[in-house]
Chains A and B, each alone.
Chain A
Amino acid sequence: MDLLLQLAKNGAIIGLLYGLFAYGMSLIVSTTGVLHFAHGFTLVGSAYTFWWLFQGQDVHPVLAAALTLVVAGAIGVLIELGIYRPLRRRKAGEMTFLVASLAVLTLGQNFLVLLFGTDPKPTPPSEFMSWSVSFGPLLIRTFDVLVIAASLVAFVGLYLLQTKTAVGLSFRAVGDNPQRAETLGIRLQHTYVWVFLAGSVVAGLPAILLSVQNPVTPSMGFDLLVKAVIALVIGGIGSMPGALLGGVLIGLVESLAVYKLPTHWAEFTLFAVLFLFVVVRPNGLTRSRLRSA
């Protein structure tokens, strides 16, 4: 029973990171209509940035984390300005956006392999990260506290952004009806840049936190992308509670599956749950807000 509780806690914590990553992507997808699979590159690019700064250049971890968030935002904005905006000008179809997005992910991932090789890049264990405290059967580690704090700050921040600021309200308005938003004076291209910035900075958080927990690998962007897509199918695109629920559910399923099943069954269990959701509740737990690119 104790093990089950511990696994559930671990699953929920990692699920929060999935939810964070998924919500950043969901924000971009629901506002721009672009299925932004290159979000996976934003994550892996940021993870390597953090590892390189912290491990390679001996930058203080707090400063390295701050710089990584800047890089994460810059990656997203550059993808918007360099790839999606020209496609939008040429009135490219959704499939073109999708292929371009996958191309960025694949090329970016391979570029990182060229730069850093394929071997995993661990960050060294530190006294700070080794701290833990027991609450009955539950062992709470520094990582858990950091994930909860980062998720809280990010989700509250994004909620306030989208309900209290003009730029955040314009994300939702453009997602609802871009033509109407334009006739109110909202410049769509500006809104897209802002939403890529916001969604990508959010992707920097799981990138940093995963980097201190697990070795950085070139495929981690793709792995997390798959989980984000599953989280969004389950939770619904454009919904904060949906992304959070979807992410935590995936984390729990992954973690709890190994309680009774061999570890390599975790992925199978995950896709079985996805299949179940697609059959029983194809629109997800919350209603998706998805428009054309």
Chain B
Amino acid sequence: MRTHDAPHAAAQPHVLDVADVVAGYGKNTVLRGVGLTVGESELVALLGHNGAGKTTLLRSIVGQVKPTAGRVLLDGADFTGRPPSATAVAGMSLVPQGHGVFPSLTIEENLTLAAATGGKRGASAATLADSKAFAFDLFGILKQRPKDRAGSLSGGQRQMLAISMALMTQPRLMLLDEPSTGLAPVLVDEVLAAVRKVNRELGTSVLVVEQDIKRVLGVADRAYVLKLGGLVFTGTPAQLEKRDWSELF
């Protein structure tokens, strides 16, 4: 577990600042005034039961769901209700649950497309080559089979490719929605270790939604717990460990 004696968020401006967001689907309000922050180079976990509103919050941040109230700021700029293509170009990169790759494209094509369309469109060839090398270093299996269609990959390999695609966009903020879903425990460790490496070595801020609480707390700087559309905990993993989890989850 990382040390938390000097939280990043207090000293530096927030990369992501979500304030009092109310959002849902039609008349069904899922989020009832949720606020959270992700600081520079910070890895933040968003926890909670099924139906607590975690995915809706991620979708509200990237613009897939339009909040009816509240604000979403990236580096201080207001992106509330902006479309996903705009938040992506601004530097938010979502790795959605289960469907993060394009099955009919090869591994290489998925990475090429992500580099060409997402995030920093003006990134130099050298920067993109560095990102690709970093991704291949993280997930060697992808390097071995660049011509394979993403649709033929296993669940774990797809997740690795989806994270690599996010890397190719040179994101300011990477948002991962339950990266461990459907993966064997050994793969969960590998994927979370890769996320931590991205966060530490590239300084990318990360907000990760995860069901595997123990494992994600092992890599997170801070955690939020969401229950029935409202926050019930904010603090460090160490503080969360001391709480009565039956109240929170």
A96 within 8 A of B: no
Does B83 contact A182, Cβ atoms closer than 8 Å? yes
**Which of A166, A177, A182, A187 has a CB less than 8 Å from the CB of B102?**
A177
Note all chain B residues with C-beta closer than 8 A to A170.
Answer: 113, 117
In the bound complex, do residue B85 and residue A169 qualify as a contact, i.e. CB atoms below 8 Å apart?
A: no
* 5 other A-B residue contacts (CB within 8 Å) besides A169-B109, A179-B96, A180-B102: A176-B102, A181-B102, A183-B64, A184-B113, A184-B117
- Cα-based distance from A166 to B111 in the complex (angstroms): 11
In the complex the two chains form, is A184's CB within 8 Å of B104's CB?
A: no
Assess whether A182 is in contact with B109, with CB atoms less than 8 Å apart.
no
Q: Are A169 and B96 in contact (CB under 8 A)?
A: no
Contact with B along A58-89 (1 / 0, CB 8 A): 00000000000000000000000000000000
The answer to whether the Cβ of B165 comes within 8 Å of any Cβ in the partner chain is yes
Interchain CA distance A107-B210 in the complex, whole Å: 54
Of B89, B116, B121, the contact of A169 (CB 8 Å cutoff): B116
* Interface set, chain A 268-293, CB cutoff 8 A to B: 289
Q: Does B156 contact A (CB under 8 A)?
A: no
A169 touches B113 (CB 8 A): yes
Residues of A within 8 A of B89 (CB): 185
Interface residues in B, total, Cβ within 8 A = 28
Using C-beta atoms within 8 Å of the partner chain, give the interface range for chain A.
20 to 34
Residues of chain B contacted by A163 (CB below 8 angstroms): 109
Whether, in the assembled complex, B62 has its beta carbon less than 8 Å from a beta carbon of chain A, the answer is: yes
The 8 Å CB contact of A166, one of B93, B94, B112, is B112
| In the complex, B84 has a CB within 8 A of chain A | yes
Task: Tell me if A169 and B112 are in contact (CB < 8 A).
Answer: yes
Contact with B along A164-208 (1 / 0, CB 8 A): 001001101101110111111111100000000000000000000
Min CB distance B212 to A, Å, is 23
In chain A, what residue has the closest Cβ to B101? A180
Nearest residue (CB) in B for A176 is B102
Docked CA distance A26–B99 (Å): 24
Q: Does B195 contact A (CB under 8 A)?
A: no
B179 at interface by CB-CB < 8 Å: no
Pick the contact of A173 from B64, B85, B102, B119 — CB < 8 Å?
A: B102
* A180: chain B residues within 8 A (beta carbon): 96, 99-102
CA distance A181 to B89 in the complex (A): 12
**A-B pairs, 8 with minimum CB distance:** A166-B116, A185-B88, A182-B84, A185-B118, A176-B102, A169-B113, A183-B94, A173-B102
Chain B residues, Cβ within 8 Å of A166: 112-113, 116-117
Interface of A: prevailing SS = helix
Question: For the complex, what is the distance from the CA of A184 to the CA of B96, rounded to whole Å?
Answer: 11
Which residues on A sit within 8 Å (CB–CB) of B100? Answer: 180
**Docked pose: A163 CA to B117 CA in angstroms:** 15
Q: Are B84's CB and A169's CB within 8 A?
A: no
CA distance A289 to B102 in the complex (A): 12
CB-CB < 8 A to B117: which residues of A? Answer: 166, 170, 184-186
How many Å lie between the Cα of A106 and that of B100 in the bound state?
A: 41
Bound form: Cα–Cα A238–B62 in Å? 30
Residues from 100 to 138 in B contacting A, C-beta threshold 8 Å: 100-105, 109, 112-114, 116-119, 121
A184 touches B105 (CB 8 A): no
CB neighbours of A181 from chain B (8 A): 102
Judge whether A185 and B169 touch: CB under 8 Å. yes
Given A169-B112, A169-B113, A183-B96, check contact A176 B105 (CB 8 Å).
Answer: yes
Give CA–CA (A190, B223) in the complex, Å: 38
Give Cα distance in the complex from A289 to B84, angstroms. 24
Residues of B within 8 A of A175 (CB): 104
B56 to chain A, nearest CB (A): 14
Q: Please name all residues of chain B whose beta carbon is closer than 8 Å to the beta carbon of A184 when the two chains form the complex.
A: 88, 93, 113-114, 117-118, 165, 169
Some 15 contacts from A to B, beta carbons below 8 A apart, are A172-B109, A173-B105, A176-B103, A177-B99, A177-B102, A179-B96, A180-B102, A183-B96, A184-B88, A184-B114, A184-B165, A185-B89, A185-B121, A238-B104, A289-B104
Closest to B62 in A: A183
Q: Mark B53-97, 1 if CB is under 8 A from A, else 0.
A: 000000000101000000000000000000111001100011010
- Chain A residues whose C-beta falls within 8 Å of the C-beta of B96 in the assembled complex: 179-180, 183
Which B residues are CB-close (under 8 A) to A177?
99, 102
Which A-chain residue is minimally distant from B84 (CB atoms)?
A182
Enumerate chain B residues within 8 angstroms of A183, measured Cβ to Cβ.
62, 64, 84-85, 88, 93-94, 96
From residue 122 to 178 of chain B, which have CB atoms closer than 8 A to chain A? 165, 169
Find out whether the CB atom of A172 lies under 8 angstroms from the CB atom of B105. Answer: yes
| Identity of the chain A residue whose Cβ is nearest the Cβ of B121 in the assembled complex | A185
The smallest C-beta distance from A171 to any residue of chain B, in angstroms, reads 10
Chain A residues with Cβ below 8 Å from B101 are: 180
Point out the residues of chain B lying under 8 angstroms from A179, CB to CB.
64, 84, 96, 99
Task: Chain A residues near B104: list those with CB within 8 A.
Answer: 172, 175-176, 238, 289
